[in-house]
Homo-oligomer: A and B are copies of this chain.
Amino acid sequence: MRLSTKFSDTIHLLAFLQVYSDIKLTSAVIAASIQTSPVVVRRLVGALKNAGFIDNDPKNHNPRIAIDPKDITLLDIYLITEGHTPLFVIDKETNPLCRVGGNIQPVLTNIYGEAEQAALTVLNSKTMQDIIDSLIVHNKVKQAKEKSDLAQDA
């Protein structure tokens, strides 16, 4: 089956909390940005609260990031949301009596592990702050483009 979107959605969620910390953040408001249902958002928020990444702002009762975004890496989020699922799947049903089927699993475990490690190392080098910074840059570029397109039309 296909991988879940939980990892992406959770990054989205955390960025949203930070970018929109000044408005009232209900699960419905957040869901409108992720384009999912409020229940799904509550589930994601719940998992993050459990892991200590989100708490409640005493001022406005918003959920908010409980840790400096510089100190949250994408690997941290990945492990919370999909940590159980290996990136590469090994077929567990192979004939143990065969010279190939009986030995392929540990061989693949090693190699896949190495590949997965490489990917997760990249994720560990990126923080939520990097995401938020990139979002702002992308947004500025987009707005400048829209403005120039508008001038073009006029």
Contact = CB atoms under 8 A, between A and B. Distances in A.
A3 B82 CA distance: 13
A74 B111 contact: yes
A107 B138 contact: yes
Contact of A108 (B11, B35, B99, B115): B11
Interface string A1-28: 1111101110110011001100000000
B33 A139 contact: no
A58 interface: no
Interface residues of A, number: 58
A34 interface: yes
A61 to B, nearest CB: 21
Contact of A89 (B3, B88, B90, B98): B3
Interface string A141-153: 0100000000000
B102 A139 contact: yes
Contacts of A9: 91
Contacts of A121: 118
Contacts of A87: 3, 87, 119
Interface in A36-79: 36, 74
Nearest first, the 4 closest Cβ-Cβ pairs linking A and B are A1-B2, A1-B1, A103-B138, A119-B119
Interface of A: 1-5, 7-9, 11-12, 15-16, 19-20, 32-36, 74, 85, 87-91, 93-95, 98-104, 106-108, 110-111, 114-116, 118-123, 126, 130-131, 134-135, 138-139, 142
